[in-house]
Chains A and B, each alone.
Chain A
Amino acid sequence: MSEFYILLLFIIIAAVVAVETKNLLSSVICVGAIGFGGSLMFLFLRAPDIAITQIVVEVLGLIILIRATISRDRTFITGDREFFGMVVSIVVIFVIFLAGIKVFETLPDFGTAIFSKVPEAASQTYISEGLAKTGAANIVTSVILDFRAYDTLGEATVLFTSIIGATVILRRKPKKLLEEMDQ
């Protein structure tokens, strides 16, 4: 269990550095360190599907962020904090912390399955009948593409819509048209 606390400490330190540092590039690298720490935690919890996805998305996102920030002129962020804003944010964080304690009391212990506390949970049905009903040896795939395929459809729709929107907004042609209109 101790490796989780070491990793958790590492992640918290990286998160604090990512928020507090003045340099944009080192902030991005700290965000990457958080992601790799999370990926290692998934690996220790024996969830290789999530670990693969996390590490791959982290690498790609880090490349995008570094390419986006490395040539920006304004890499330094300055300015003082507002007193009122700081008080409000501390109060909000404290309230969320108290609510989080209440929520985590209802969850089973870290690293144990949910059906140790709720015997009639749906996950037990997936584990016992997943292979017979779907024929997929990987239970995670049989859940996300058969039992819970609607979730995957929603996720694919979100990705599709957001990428269509980004491509339309950032494409090259309308800028050329605007430049011609200016001339």
Chain B
Amino acid sequence: MIQKGKNSNGVKGMTIIVKTIASWVKVLIFLFGIYIIIFGHLTPGGGFAGGVILASSYVLLMLAFGREFVEKNLPLPLASKLDCLGAFLFAMIAVLGFVFGGTFFVNFLVEKYGQPLELLSAGTIPLSNIAIGLKVGASLFLVILTLSIFRSDVSSNKKG
């Protein structure tokens, strides 16, 4: 019954226990994703893993509260724009390396700020991590949202 999108009381999503736990845990998962992205040049992790964690916090919300709730929080056009913004930022960092350093993708900021092992260090690497995290998180969120819309359309067509 729960998987059909409505439980016995006719409320969207899962039971109140799952909803309460999810609303507490989602913040921690989102923060962990941001930590993995921002500290990607110091500790294990990076843009890709952190982006997937960001997307999975929204997937948790979608499983607990239903698709409409998540679509209200992060609409599909906005997620698509974030996806494009991340890809554009990553390409821009590469092109800026060409402009300022003479070579495509050169790390032109490496000597401008920070010592190694500090949070603000490593030139363009943290910026690239943020861009990739934005891109991967938004695009994986898009995939799951699109697949679930597709699935619900197929099932509603079957019923009708």
Contact = CB atoms under 8 A, between A and B. Distances in A.
A153 B94 contact: yes
B125 A52 contact: no
A145 B130 CA distance: 12
A52 B36 contact: yes
Contacts of A135: 41, 110, 114-116, 121-123, 125
A136 B122 contact: yes
Interface string B39-83: 011111111110011011001000100000000000000001001
Q: For chain A, which range describes its interface: under 10, 10 to 19, 20 to 34, or 35 or more residues? A: 35 or more
Interface residues of B, number: 55
A64 B52 CA distance: 13
Contacts of B124: 145-146
B107 interface: yes
A160 interface: yes
Contacts of B63: 63, 67
Contact of A167 (B4, B129, B142): B142
A144 to B, nearest CB: 7
Contacts of B11: none
A12 interface: no
Contacts of A121: none
Contacts of B150: 170
Q: Which of A51, A68, A142, A153 has the most CB of B within 10 A?
A: A153
Interface in A147-173: 149-150, 152-153, 156-157, 159-160, 163, 166-167, 170-172
Contact of A160 (B3, B49, B83, B107): B83
B87 interface: yes
A138 interface: yes
B149 A163 contact: no
B44 to A, nearest CB: 4
Label chain A's interface by main secondary structure.
helix
Contact of A166 (B105, B136, B143): B143
Contact of A67 (B44, B53, B83, B151): B151
Contacts, number: 142
B31 to A, nearest CB: 15
B50 to A, nearest CB: 9
A140 B46 contact: yes
B9 interface: no
Interface string B134-160: 011001101110111111010100000
Contact of B139 (A48, A63, A163): A163
B56 A59 contact: yes
Interface of A: 48-49, 51-53, 56-57, 59-60, 63-64, 67-68, 70-71, 131, 133-138, 140-142, 144-146, 149-150, 152-153, 156-157, 159-160, 163, 166-167, 170-172, 175
13 contacts: A56-B49, A60-B52, A60-B56, A63-B56, A135-B125, A138-B41, A140-B44, A145-B41, A146-B105, A159-B139, A163-B143, A167-B143, A172-B153
